[in-house]
Structure 1
Amino acid sequence: MEDDSRSGLEIRPVTPHDLEQFNNLLAYVFQVTAKEVEESGYEDGELERAKRPVLEKSDVIGWWHGDELISQLAVYPCRVNIHGRVFQMGGLTGVGTYPEYAGHGLMHDLVKLALQHMREHQQWISYLYPYSIPFYRKKGWEIMSDHLTFDVKDTQLPKSVPDMPGHVERLEIDDPDVIETYNRFALHNHGAMIRNQLNWDEYWRWEDEDERIAGVYYDENDLPQGYVLYWIADEVFHIKEMVYNTQEARSGLWNFVAAHFSMVEHVKGNIYKNEPLHFLLDDGDIMQTIHPYFMARIVDVAEFLKAYPFVEPDKPVHFVVSDPLAEWNVGVFGLWWDDKGQLHVTDRPVGEAVKIDIATLTTMLMSYRRPSYLAQIERLQASPAAIKLLERIIPMEEPYFSDYF
């Protein structure tokens, strides 16, 4: 790129005073229409006001041409559960460039700055919802979770489990018991967002909250153990999300859904984990789709490895990591455990070698894909002994992530 392609351009922060330009750029790039905003339950001007807290809480940077914002991204501060340990996470969002300024590497520079910012704020992992998987793969992100949708006919609904000890109550979607149930769920489900109020606001951003209902399952001790967020329209029972902390709650919630048998012809819904519903149904011949959902990227390999909850101490091993954007992630990262089982991360090539890029390392440690599979498709290079070691020390649980930002 020639130097004059950036003549008159500069990088500087985007502040809440720039909210209108921030929203206008997003609306143009993603073609969000006034009709879509209206159908989400917003009246004129409400969406901009609703997005202001996100802009205030996030760190937003952009390329400016004079007073015109032409390219931008935001780092949305979040917390997530990674195999039982809470990590600070930098959510990359609000990404966009006006087409007349595309092709000049503007976003490349913004993403590099965003990674530096996350590192400075000890956000060792980053999530994003990709508008282009290839684009973000080139920058080191990789798929870490799936979004399944299902369509169950009324005749295929699971038979009610009799004599359930608990019961379901219909409540407002922001009832404290809904929040508390999700909090416990998130702390026990790898990958999940630990939601604060701003995260909940974003969770409902493109929904008409007035039409959504929460069905909460209470056990025999009146403790909330699960919920289904839903609405009914045109003889379809729509499930936005079903969360349960016990299998009893799962059965109780499906009893509740099945109790609508006479009112609906289909139940359509979402599952945010690669856990197909058909196996749980007597008639498993249902329509299901699976799509990649969120992507993740390790921001700082050394710090992420130090905090990562490996299953148990094992033999030494080292990663030889490549990274297209973060030079601090390029090199050797050795793992060894002392006599007390304490993990140490070193820049020495201890034990077996694993040659891997940052995207593959991320999806592997997020347990979206196992080491043996990644070796089979040649996404990493390592000896059979090294692969077996990785299989032992990396937890098995697949990620669950149902948020959007």
Structure 2
Amino acid sequence: MDVRFVEEKYVDDINRLMRYCFNLSNDAPGWFTKETLGENHTIGAFEGDNLGASLCAWPYHIWFNGKEVGMGGIGNVATFPEYRYKKCVGSLLVKSLEIMRKRDQIFSLLGPFSYSFYRKYGWEMGYHYKIYTFEMDDFKKFKTVYGSYHILGEENIDEMDRVYRSFIHRYNGTVIRDRNIWKKILKDQDKGTIHRYGVYSDCGELEGYLFYNINDGIFHIKELVYSSLESKEALFRFIYLHNAQASKIQWMAPSDDNTLFIIDNPRKDVKMVQGMMIRVVDVKKVLKLYPFSTKDATSFSIKVDDPWAEWNDKTFKVDIGDSIIVEDDLDDRFDIRCSIQTFSQLMIGYIDMVEGAEMGKIQGDREVIERVGALFHKKPTYINDFF
């Protein structure tokens, strides 16, 4: 199979592929136009002139320990049935790593149909959520009147983005939304029955917002973002105002959400659900950007096993001082060793080094693991954008 960018002339073929693999009707609008093809985001696996499979690596930026960094969002992965089990997608994934590296997208995210499949190419679970099921009466206690509620639209994008950016600073791996992303979110919501309301302070500033819909007596929270406990409780009060329309509330909340601590009866149905997978595309650049937890000069070496990206499949020495210096192409002497999957979890803060060692995923002397592990830190991850 020949792997290359999908050219404009294949627009009908790729739209047929999308319709086939995602069960869309033949008269459904095309997902791709000529403007989105060429040397842009879509690569395909070809047999001669025949398109057999494709994927997209959409350009994003995510929040990483106080910095905005490039990320390639893998989506629209599809294969015609006659080309399945021919390693088409594997070839596309490996090629996408080269493309993302050239574009300075040092992380990659994807929503998997199978975690085991994408693990084979270096992606690993990096997110999970709490799915709450509340009774509407659980929010009855939130009676304090705080500010006022208003419908939100495209004219409120700047306000929503300000609150959103403030909210995501506590997380790693959250998409930085530019104006185009916000417009797409609102446009997609307007195609369905998603409602948008915000809570404003008495000074007229947006303090929090809520995206939701109501179906079959259930209030479905799609996104709830707030700047303080007061604004969070004000949004809960707004939800309770719908007690005549819904008897239950469902919410896929961030993994660190603490709502159970502020309701009267915390004995609720709470599920942990796995989310996106993450992969480091460029080990050296990620190490240079990492905010190591020390003020003292120190160093360590780490061997990363990444058979799909030769630029990562090396031993790296990290010298921490006034700046971070990372050397590669070293010999096989190292303090610790792990796969690219475990390294990706460690970098994004999903696990710490001791946890990795306890799971048998990090090799090294116990004392060295504890010493080097103290340089890293866990941080909750969260994403509510999908591609």
Q: What TM-score do you get using the length of structure 2 for normalisation? A: 0.89
* Contact kept in structure 2, 1:63 and 1:71, CA below 8 Å: yes
Correspondence list, 1:210-289, <5 A: 211-275=193-257, 277-289=259-271
Residue aligning to 1:132: 114
1:78, 1:384 → 2: CA distance? 38
Q: Does 1:141 align with 2:141?
A: no
1:205, 1:24 → 2: CA distance? 24
| SS of match in other structure, 1:328 | coil
Task: Compute the displacement of 1:16 (Å).
Answer: 4.6
Q: What letter corresponds to residue 344 of structure 1 in structure 2?
A: I
Structure 1 376/188 Cα, relative in aligned 2: closer, same or farther at 3 Å? closer
Q: Percent identity?
A: 26
Structure 1 71/232 Cα, relative in aligned 2: closer, same or farther at 3 Å? same
Q: Does 1:385 align with 2:376?
A: no
Correspondence list, 1:87-236, <5 A: 87-157=69-139, 159-164=141-146, 166-172=147-153, 175-176=156-157, 177-200=159-182, 203=185, 207=189, 209=191, 211-236=193-218
Q: Deviations over 1:7-63 (max 9, x none)?
A: xx533321354333223223323x3344xx9xxxxxx544537x7776579421112
Structure 1 215/301 Cα, relative in aligned 2: closer, same or farther at 3 Å? same
Structure 1 321/89 Cα, relative in aligned 2: closer, same or farther at 3 Å? same
Q: What letter corresponds to residue 15 of structure 2 in structure 1?
A: N
Q: What letter corresponds to residue 60 of structure 1 in structure 2?
A: T
Q: Deviations over 1:110-131 (max 9, x none)?
A: 2221111111111111111111
Question: Equivalent of 1:14, from 6, 24, 27?
Answer: 6
Q: Does 1:320 align with 2:311?
A: no
Q: Does 1:48 align with 2:31?
A: yes
Gaps of 5+ in 1: 1-8, 38-43
Q: What TM-score do you get using the length of structure 1 for normalisation? A: 0.86
* Contact kept in structure 2, 1:333 and 1:349, CA below 8 Å: no
* Contact kept in structure 2, 1:144 and 1:296, CA below 8 Å: yes
2:254, 2:166 → 1: CA distance? 17
Residue aligning to 2:23: 32
Correspondence list, 1:61-100, <5 A: 61-100=43-82
Structure 1 52/170 Cα, relative in aligned 2: closer, same or farther at 3 Å? farther
Q: What letter corresponds to residue 71 of structure 1 in structure 2?
A: A
Structure 1 106/48 Cα, relative in aligned 2: closer, same or farther at 3 Å? closer
2:188, 2:145 → 1: CA distance? 38
Question: Equivalent of 2:323, from 334, 339, 342?
Answer: 342
Q: Does 1:332 align with 2:315?
A: yes
2:75, 2:34 → 1: CA distance? 14
Q: What letter corresponds to residue 18 of structure 1 in structure 2?
A: Y
Structure 1 86/206 Cα, relative in aligned 2: closer, same or farther at 3 Å? same
* Contact kept in structure 2, 1:178 and 1:214, CA below 8 Å: no
1:320, 1:395 → 2: CA distance? 19
Q: Does 1:23 align with 2:15?
A: yes
2:74, 2:344 → 1: CA distance? 16
| SS of match in other structure, 2:219 | strand
Residue aligning to 1:6: none
Task: Compute the displacement of 1:183 (Å).
Answer: 3.5
1:133, 1:206 → 2: CA distance? 27
Task: Compute the displacement of 1:309 (Å).
Answer: 2.5
Residue aligning to 1:3: none
Task: Compute the displacement of 1:276 (Å).
Answer: 5.9
Task: Compute the displacement of 1:221 (Å).
Answer: 2.8
* Contact kept in structure 1, 2:3 and 2:95, CA below 8 Å: no
Q: What letter corresponds to residue 167 of structure 1 in structure 2?
A: S
2:254, 2:78 → 1: CA distance? 26
Structure 1 76/381 Cα, relative in aligned 2: closer, same or farther at 3 Å? same
* Contact kept in structure 2, 1:149 and 1:290, CA below 8 Å: yes
Task: Compute the displacement of 1:335 (Å).
Answer: 1.3
Q: Aligned pair count? A: 384
Structure 1 stretch 356-365 or stretch 59-68: which is displaced more? 59-68
Structure 1 stretch 175-184 or stretch 146-155: which is displaced more? 175-184
Structure 1 204/404 Cα, relative in aligned 2: closer, same or farther at 3 Å? farther
